[in-house]
């Protein structure tokens, strides 16, 4: 066996370099290595290492203290591995191979799924969904049973001391491991191991002092006003209400758009000859009905001179306004860079490039009643080669359109469905044999039926579906950091968090529900903070703007209510005739400005 030296690592690694810190791929396979042959201090210098092949050696465990923050792929197949808990330090690992390790059991596999929170591919199979089920749903069941054991037989001592707590922890952990039974007997070892960890965490949570942040929040809570719930029309008594979501407070659409619309235009959409779905403006006086955001004012715009005079008059009447504004500046200091950046730019000039009518019933150019509910641009990534696709949904169809050519590239129809929302994401597709998994861009769409359709546009495959609610779906949103996590909002006033996993070469997939968020009204939009998409969620609803904790962890529950509500000064002006709670637009401008 060759000794592991810096020179050997540079020879076996790539790209070719004279610094260990620059190596991204390392092949140490079939060298007969044992644990003692791996110099931790030397290997710890591989800070950029992403792929490491250790197959065909004699390793029984992995060096416990070896920290490789960039490592994403590890091959430990054909070794003698026994203790998988030594891999706990590799928390960024996404793909692991453990084939042909005779002593690895099903319980060991389960432990790996919990220890490695980002593990997605295990032995060339996508395990995202089953792993997340173990981390959250399975663990939540164990936690519930463990707490029952505590409440039935244990309590904290009146005088807490280190000796008493040590004895209590020992007795409680032993009792929990003996009494908590869950899952098949083949994973009994994993269940005991997981219950022991959860029991210790639970006991720690009872004795550790709460963070000062909690006290601050409790003190400030009375100052946060919670407006009364917006009056809702009872759908059982109003025969005019349909399943079509009304996302905006607006007047009902006129029966005759050409006569009633205040925004008259000379635009009519008609298909071009041939098989194209692009349209060209032709005859006048045929205007599709345009939904309006509330009651729009129709008075004639004032001239710039009148505007200047009005501003001058207001300045004279309110001399103290400038001082008040100046006093507010320190309070909004974090917003100033955004405002300054906007004030320096030139006004945006928008020019229509393409006009399409691709959602009409039976592709009829005379259909102006089918509504478009959502569009979503495909995120740019290496896997899609910088494509410029946009997906739109309305009626019974979803269209994928090339923004540059204006061509409808794909069209998916589901008779009887009415799609209200869609969202793009990127998941891993595992391939046959030893071929590495690849990223694939998918599209999720849902609507009136409460069913989410999963589509792989590149291969023109609608590969799966699952029921997210018994009510219509109002909004879909993927977690941009963890592409397999999908949030669905529905008309039963709930937001569900799902793990849709990845897919294999035959488009097999699994779906697991991870969370349910109780909302006071229909969720219309969902936003995840760019810097913390794994911990919080903002939802715009008919009754206001609400924030939820979505962090999945040791002491979390699968059903949650709102953490806080964001209120606005205009709420004070509400009365019986005016309700200002509905939020129908939501987006982050920066990491902390929404």
In the numeric block, the tokens 């042959």 are attached to: 37
Amino acid 387: pLDDT: 67
pLDDT truncated to tens, each residue of the chain (594 aa)? 678 999 999 999 999 999 999 999 999 999 999 999 999 999 999 999 999 999 999 999 999 889 999 999 999 999 999 899 999 999 899 999 999 998 898 889 999 999 998 898 898 888 888 888 888 778 888 888 899 999 999 999 888 888 989 999 999 999 999 999 887 878 889 999 999 999 999 998 888 765 544 444 444 443 433 333 333 444 444 443 344 444 444 444 444 333 333 333 333 333 333 334 333 333 333 334 433 333 433 333 444 445 455 555 555 445 444 444 444 444 444 445 555 555 667 788 888 888 888 888 877 888 888 899 999 999 877 665 666 899 999 999 999 998 888 888 889 999 889 999 999 999 888 877 667 778 889 999 999 999 999 999 888 888 999 999 999 999 999 999 889 999 999 999 999 999 998 888 888 888 989 999 999 899 999 999 998 898 899 999 989 999 999 988 755 678 888 889 999 999 999 888 888 899 988 999 988 889
121-122 and 95-97: which strand pairing?
A: parallel
Q: Under a CB-based contact definition with an 8 Å cutoff, are residues 411 and 398 in contact?
A: yes
DSSP H or E run through 386: none
Amino acid 433: pLDDT: 67
Token pair for 531: 């810097």
Q: Under a CB-based contact definition with an 8 Å cutoff, are residues 502 and 482 in contact?
A: no
Burial 45-74 (b: 16+ CB within 10 A, else e): ebebbbbbbbbbbebebbbeebebeebbbb
Q: Under a CB-based contact definition with an 8 Å cutoff, are residues 543 and 249 in contact?
A: no
Stated pTM of the model = 0.55
Whole-angstrom distance, CA of residue 241 vs CA of residue 262 = 25
Q: Under a CB-based contact definition with an 8 Å cutoff, are residues 151 and 145 in contact?
A: no
Q: Under a CB-based contact definition with an 8 Å cutoff, are residues 257 and 368 in contact?
A: yes
Whole-angstrom distance, CA of residue 418 vs CA of residue 400 = 16
Quote the distance between the C-alpha of residue 234 and its chain's center: 32
Burial 362-377 (b: 16+ CB within 10 A, else e): eeeeeebebbebbebe
Burial 178-193 (b: 16+ CB within 10 A, else e): eebeebeeebeebbeb
Please report, for the chain, how many H helices and E strands are present, in that order: 12, 27
Whole-angstrom distance, CA of residue 460 vs CA of residue 462 = 7
Amino acid 392: pLDDT: 95
Token pair for 353: 């490039």
What does the angle CA 268 – CA 274 – CA 279 come to, to the nearest 5 degrees? Answer: 20
Amino acid 72: pLDDT: 93
Whole-angstrom distance, CA of residue 376 vs CA of residue 361 = 22
Contacts of 432 (CB under 8 A, 6+ apart): 505
Amino acid 339: pLDDT: 54
Q: How far is CA 301 from CA 298, 320, 383, 417, 460, in A?
A: 9, 29, 48, 42, 48
Q: Under a CB-based contact definition with an 8 Å cutoff, are residues 227 and 582 in contact?
A: no
The widest CA-to-CA distance across the chain, in whole angstroms, is: 90
DSSP H or E run through 143: helix 139-153
125-126 and 269-271: which strand pairing?
A: unpaired
Summarised one tens digit per residue, pLDDT across range 418-427 is 999 999 999 8
């Amino acid at each position: 066996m060759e000794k592991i030296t810096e020179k050997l690592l540079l020879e076996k690694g790539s790209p070719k370099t004279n610094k260990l810190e620059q190596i991204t791929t390392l092949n140490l396979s079939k060298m007969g290595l044992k644990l003692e042959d791996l110099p931790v201090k030397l290997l710890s210098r591989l800070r950029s290492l992403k792929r490491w092949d250790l197959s065909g050696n004699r390793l029984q465990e992995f060096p416990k203290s070896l920290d490789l923050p960039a490592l994403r792929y590890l091959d430990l197949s054909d070794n003698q591995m026994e203790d998988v808990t030594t891999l706990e330090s590799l928390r960024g690992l996404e793909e692991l191979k453990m084939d042909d390790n005779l002593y690895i059991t099903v319980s060991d596999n389960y432990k790996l799924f919990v220890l490695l929170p980002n593990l997605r591919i295990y032995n060339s199979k996508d395990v995202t969904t089953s792993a997340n089920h173990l981390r959250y749903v399975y663990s939540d069941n164990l936690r519930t049973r463990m707490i029952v054991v505590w409440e039935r037989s244990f309590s904290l001592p009146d005088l807490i001391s280190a000796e008493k707590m040590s004895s209590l922890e020992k007795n409680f952990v032993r009792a929990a491991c003996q009494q908590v039974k869950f899952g098949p007997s083949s994973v009994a070892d994993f269940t005991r191991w997981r219950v022991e960890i959860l029991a210790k965490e639970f006991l720690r949570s009872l004795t550790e002092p709460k963070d000062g942040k909690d006290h601050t929040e409790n003190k400030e809570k009375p100052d946060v006003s919670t407006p009364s719930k917006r009056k809702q029309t009872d759908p059982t008594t109003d025969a005019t209400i349909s399943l079509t979501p009304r996302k905006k407070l607006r007047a009902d659409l006129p029966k005759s758009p050409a006569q009633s619309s205040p925004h008259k235009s000379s635009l009519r959409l008609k298909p071009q000859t041939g098989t194209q779905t692009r349209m060209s403006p032709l005859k006048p006086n045929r205007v599709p009905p345009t939904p309006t955001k509330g009651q729009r004012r129709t008075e004639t715009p004032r001239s710039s001179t009148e505007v200047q005079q009005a501003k001058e008059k207001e300045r004279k009447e309110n001399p103290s306004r400038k001082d008040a504004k100046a006093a507010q500046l320190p309070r909004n200091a974090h917003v100033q860079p955004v405002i300054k950046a906007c004030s320096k730019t030139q006004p945006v000039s928008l020019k229509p490039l393409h006009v399409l009518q691709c959602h009409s019933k039976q592709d009829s150019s005379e259909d102006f009643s089918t509504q478009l509910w959502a569009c979503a641009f495909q995120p740019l990534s290496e896997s899609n080669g910088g494509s410029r696709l946009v997906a739109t949904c309305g009626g019974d169809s979803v269209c994928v359109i090339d923004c540059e050519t204006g061509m409808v590239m794909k069209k998916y129809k589901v008779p009887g469905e009415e799609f209200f929302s869609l969202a793009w994401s990127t998941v891993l597709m595992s391939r046959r044999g030893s071929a590495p998994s690849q990223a694939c861009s998918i599209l999720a769409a849902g609507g009136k039926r409460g069913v989410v359709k999963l589509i792989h546009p590149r291969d023109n495959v609608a590969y799966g579906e699952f029921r997210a609610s018994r009510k219509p779906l109002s909004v879909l949103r993927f977690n941009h950091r963890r592409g397999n996590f999908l949030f669905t909002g529905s008309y039963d006033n709930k937001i569900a968090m799902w793990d849709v996993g990845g897919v294999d070469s035959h488009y097999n997939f699994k779906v697991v529900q991870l969370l349910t968020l109780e909302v006071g009204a229909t969720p219309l939009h969902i936003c995840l903070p760019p810097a913390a998409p794994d911990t919080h969620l903002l939802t715009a609803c008919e009754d206001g703007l609400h924030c939820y904790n979505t962090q999945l962890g040791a002491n979390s529950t699968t059903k949650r209510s709102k953490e806080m509500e964001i209120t606005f000064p205009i709420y004070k002006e509400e009365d019986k005739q005016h309700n200002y709670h509905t939020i129908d637009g939501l987006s982050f401008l920066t990491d902390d400005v929404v």
